[in-house]
Amino acid sequence: MPVIDPVSLEDCLEFIDRNASDVREGTYDVKIRAEWLPVMPPDAVRFLLEHCVSTRKVVGRVLKGKGAGAAILERLGRDENQEVRQCVAANPNAPEVVLLGLGDDYFEEVRLTLARNPALPEALLNQMSLDKSPHIRVAVARNPKASLAVINRLANDRSRMVADAVVALAGETKSTSSLQLLAKCGRAEVRAAVCGNRMLALPMVDLLCRDEDHRVREAARQRLRGVAEAPGTAPELLRQFAVLDSREIREAVAGNPSTPADLLERLINEGEERVRLAVAGNPSLPEALMMLLVTDGRPAVREALARRTDLCWPACELLNEDETPAIQETLALNPTERERRKAAGLCLDCGRKLTGMGRTISTQCFACMGKRLLNR
């Protein structure tokens, strides 16, 4: 049967007048536009609803379920054509009684469309979460109106596909209300997946850091650490992270180039070696803090400073006098320090002043040359 798709309401009404008998006999199937419904003559609407499947599909999808519209949708919800019922199932304005009737539809496509309708009542979602089709149960899990009870049931569904879909939803949904429910799900894998969702507010992530399951706690800490070490993180947020009861997160803050100097100084003064190591490697470390760390009692911190190619000259002088072998070896490998030593006529290995003929024939002092010969 050819589908007639008029370009305007006038063309549609003219076609009906000329071909009413053919439409009545099923020769033509007329499709209308949704925007015509408010101004279309009621007799013409009734005529097309009775004889044209394409019109019934359009009306079923967009008609408001109030007054006369409720009666029409109730009739279309029982239409013999599956596609018409499917259009009604997608209508968020359909009356609740119509939607409830479609919940037992024989065709899976109708029920699947219904499960995606964001206006489904809670009772119907509960009913459909027990549907025999796993595809429909997945659609119910993804419905923004799904309750915590429904989410908990589907997270532990007998079908692995359904249970995994709930975990995937936790990591990808952009609905804040759905995220709040998923964060309370009884299945730990779902709560862990929620932690990786960028839409989840950081206070909720912090709350999940104290979850009873170690996988959730670890996922929450990893999320916070990722934010804490991101170069674009706001300084105000970094200040909040710096007081959290997690050394890993404080390390991330200490190494973040966006961390303010006063906060870096506070982290240095707190005395944790790994945090101070992270500060020593911070790309934006001010010279004043380099001078503070160069006298650190932990050789590992001083060695981290010695690796910096932007090390300020006063700190470099102090490190050159350091007697720790590992620090001298690190300085000798630092390309910036090697260039400085070469220009100043110093031994590239130990930084001592080259004297006599050594200044012209070698880049090493006699002591360092002797050590190299002995180590061969």
Report the pLDDT averaged over residues 249-259.
93
User: Are the C-beta atoms of residues 276 and 252 closer than 8 Å to each other?
Assistant: no
Q: Given 201, 224, 247, which residue is the final one in a domain?
A: 224
Top mean pLDDT of 133-142, 173-182, 300-309 is at 133-142
**Same structural domain, 134 and 209:** yes
Report the pLDDT averaged over residues 216-233.
91
Q: Helix 82-89 and helix 53-62: axis angle, to 10°?
A: 10
Domain count along the chain: 3
List the domain range (segments joined by +) for residue 139: 120-224
Report the pLDDT averaged over residues 143-160.
94
Residue 236 lies in a domain: no
Top mean pLDDT of 108-112, 177-181, 203-207, 218-222 is at 108-112
Q: Given 199, 224, 249, which residue is the final one in a domain?
A: 224
Q: Is pLDDT of 367 > 80?
A: no
Q: What pLDDT, in 10s, does the model give residues 319-355?
A: 888 888 888 888 888 888 777 777 767 776 666 666 6
Report the pLDDT averaged over residues 226-231.
91
**Same structural domain, 129 and 211:** yes
Residue 87 lies in a domain: no
Q: What pLDDT, in 10s, does the model give residues 63-73?
A: 987 877 899 99
CA distance 150 to 126: 6
Residue 74 lies in a domain: no
**Same structural domain, 198 and 271:** no
Q: Kindly indicate the confidence band of residue 357, based on its pLDDT and cuts at 50, 70 and 90.
A: very low
**Same structural domain, 327 and 361:** no
Residue-level length of the chain = 376
User: Are the C-beta atoms of residues 177 and 153 closer than 8 Å to each other?
Assistant: no
**Same structural domain, 268 and 363:** no
Six-digit token string for 308: 């910096």
Please enumerate in sequence order all residues whose Cβ is within 8 A of that of 275, keeping only pairs 6 or more positions apart, or say none: 247, 250, 251, 254, 267, 268
Residue 94 lies in a domain: no
Q: Kindly indicate the confidence band of residue 374, based on its pLDDT and cuts at 50, 70 and 90.
A: low
Q: What pLDDT, in 10s, does the model give residues 173-215?
A: 998 889 999 999 999 999 999 999 989 888 888 889 889 999 9
**Same structural domain, 125 and 192:** yes
